[in-house]
Each structure stands twice: as C-alpha cells, then as structure tokens.
Amino acid sequence: MCPGRRDRYDGGPLKTDGIERVLGLVCQEMGSTDARLEIGGKDPEAAELVFVSVPGGWRLVAVFDTAPEDRVRMEHRLKQLATAFFDAGLSLPAPSADAEMRLAQRRLDDELAALAGRTGALGANVIDMQSPVLWGCSESRHTGEDLESFLVTAEVDAAARARGVDLAVVSGLGEADRATSLDELTGELRRRAERLVTRLSDRPLRSRRNYLLHGQCLADVRRWILRQSGEESSVRRLVHLEGLGYFARSFAGIYVLVLYFPGPFSELHVEGTALHYLPVIERHVLGLPPIDPNPPGGKVVQMPLPR
C-alpha cells in the first residue's frame, strides 16, 4: 500500500442507526451531497471535501459537488456538528483486527513513500534478512508480489537482457509482436518472460522500467546480504551501478531499508534523510503483526535459469 490511502467506514459494520442519522444530518445541515466517517491514511486534500477530526482517530467528512465558496465557515459548521454529536454520547466502535493491520501497513507504506519523495528515489522498501516478506513498499502493491517474485523478475530480466531482449519495451507491444520479440528466448526462460510481460502489459513504459529496476535492486541487495552472512551483524551499502543506484541499511536486527534510484544519487543527502526517517519506520515495522512466509502447502522453489 501507497500515500493517501485510507479505510473508509461509510458502509458495512459501522452503519448503525446512530451513525446513519449523524451522516444524514451532516448532509442536511451542510448542504453536502454525501458524508462519511473514515480512519487512516493522510488527511484528504481535495477541494470538494471538508473534514474535521473526531475521537478515536476518525475523520468526519462532508462531500460537496464543487469546492465550497466559504470553506472556513463550512469547517467551523462541521466542527460544531461533530462536537454536538460526540458530546451527546455518539461512540464509534473500535476498528477490527484486520482493519488495524491494514492501517498499520498503510502507515508504514506512507512513510516509505514520503522518504522516497524526499530523497528523489524511485521507491523505498523494507525487507528482512531471513524471509521473502516485503514488509513495506512505497509503491502500489499487486497481488502475489513479494521479495521472491521480485527476485524471479530480476533473474528473468537479466537473462533476457543478455540475449538482447528489453522486456520493458516488449511488454508494451501487441500480443503478436510481443510473441515475435521473445523468439530469442526458449524453454523455461521463454515461459517466465511471457508471464512477466503479460503482467506488465497494462502499465506505462516508465512504470514497467521502474518495476524491472526494482527487481534488479532487491536481487543485488539480497545477493550482497547472503555473501555477508555471518560476517557482519549490520548492513550499510551505497551502490552506483550502470542505470541503477541504491542505498540499503539494516535496523532492528533483521530488517533492511532499501531505496533505489535510476542512476547516481547524493549519498550524503540520502543517508541523512533516511536516518531521520528511520526511527518512525522502525516503530511502524515493529508494530506490524507477524507474517508466516511459509503458508500451508509449502513453498515453490524456482529453478535457476540458464545463463
């Protein structure tokens, strides 16, 4: 999960009679087209939304078709309504355990996105030294993506590039041209490349290139960590490769913060900014529930591709 996301409770289990009446009264008194309660993520920035904070970390939001002409008056009125409702005893149920977990994950992802923005990185991740779990990710998450899937992506990408095939470009072609462009690849490499370009085909070229670069970065970090196994208890690495730069630093024992770039970057600026953000990131990571990296049924072990 990425910046600006939040869990909205304008439906489902929070739609009790009392809350429904409150939201209806907000629409009536404010002249808004809709009203909702939400929790998590960053405060809304859209001009047509007016909101106030209410007890328990929630926000009461009034939704208008267009931006209100007198926003200050609207915010004051909404605050008066919220005070009246909650002083009268309206209470909100605590979020479920699942909602709390999603909220904790989104807070971490939001911090990583902020760090990436401050450093000019393409992305920021938190991995660990022992499992395939992608604990935090500044970019949008896609189903089935974890550290292992990125390592497989990097392996396929490297093998394809060694044969002169640019998968970022190929994935943007039509289906027939895509198949022809993969003729240099055979066997298992061809099958994996076909699956990868199909998965990337609906993304813009820049997004496809960033995704492949993301995989290259995580694969290089993991290789370096494995080489250092038993030699060092901490990780600190700043790398400038052709078309790829990254900063990696361990924290809280087993976790590693990784920022990656499309080329050279200012080591002093990146490391200084990362160290500033690291205490907050560490707190969010340690607040996440444990994740079993080996679900029932076992792991699928990927066979290495031919070089």
pLDDT tens readout for residues 257-296: 999 999 999 999 999 999 999 999 999 999 887 766 554 4
> What pLDDT was estimated at residue 280?
93
For residues 33 and 63, is the Cβ–Cβ distance under 8 A? yes
Q: Cβ contacts of residue 168 below 8 Å, gap of 6+?
A: 200, 205, 208, 209, 212
Tokens 């401050």 label which residue? Answer: 118
* Collapsed DSSP state (helix, strand, coil) of residue 239: strand
* Selection from 250, 302, 238 nearest residue 281 by Cα: 250
The separation between CA 174 and the C-alpha centre of its own chain, rounded to angstroms, equals 29
Name the more confident of 103 and 221.
221
> What pLDDT was estimated at residue 299?
41
Please say whether the dihedral angle defined by the alpha carbons of residues 41, 46, 48 and 50, taken in this order, is positive or negative. positive
Rounded mean pLDDT, 158-185: 94
